[in-house]
């Protein structure tokens, strides 16, 4: 699977670690930055990653920051992206099953690395349930403010 990744300075370490694991598992990781722990502005990196997912250039995306909140908000500004802020395996599983989340946001300052790796693994292997959820996803995708 081709996976877009982006972070700000506060999510950089986890981006690197998760990227290494995904690459070792045979995934293709497209790194949109940042490239260090020097303070930076997350929209500069998250928006291009989200656009790559929305355009079909990447199948999924993972965005990281201190809390993951800003990154989720930025990713969700891109039409066609459904980014879920996940903090455990259950939120990751439900984000895929019920919301067909194609991007997840993680907060490096809030969850241990082992939990972040588990979240990513669960999210990648979980399928969208479809059914009653399709109508709701259609409503989200059709919304234009």
**H or E segment at 29?**
strand 28-31
| Annotation says 98 is catalytic | yes
Contact indicator for 59, 22 with CB cutoff of 8 Å: no
Active-site choice (17, 44, 98, 129): 98
Question: Using CB atoms within 10 A of its CB, is residue 135 exposed (0-12), middle (13-18) or buried (19+)?
Answer: exposed
- Between CA 111 and CA 88 the distance in angstroms is 8
| Annotation says 27 is catalytic | no
Q: What angle do CA 108, 95, 5 make, to 5 degrees?
A: 45
Quote the radius of gyration of the chain (alpha carbons, Å). Answer: 14
Q: Give me the active site residues, please.
A: 71, 98
């Amino acid at each position: 699977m081709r996976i877009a990744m982006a972070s700000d300075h506060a999510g950089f370490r986890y981006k690197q670690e998760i990227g290494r694991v995904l690459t070792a598992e045979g995934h293709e990781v497209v790194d949109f930055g940042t490239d260090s722990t020097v303070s930076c502005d997350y929209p500069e990196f998250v928006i291009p990653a989200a656009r790559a997912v929305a355009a079909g250039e990447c199948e999924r995306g993972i965005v990281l920051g201190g809390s993951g909140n800003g990154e989720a908000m930025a990713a969700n500004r891109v039409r066609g992206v459904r980014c879920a802020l996940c903090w455990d395996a259950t939120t990751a599983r439900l984000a895929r099953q019920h919301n067909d989340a194609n991007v997840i946001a993680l907060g490096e300052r809030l969850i241990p690395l082992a939990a972040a790796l588990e979240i990513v693994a669960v999210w990648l292997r979980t399928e969208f349930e479809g059914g009653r959820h399709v109508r709701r996803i259609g409503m989200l995708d059709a919304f234009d403010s």
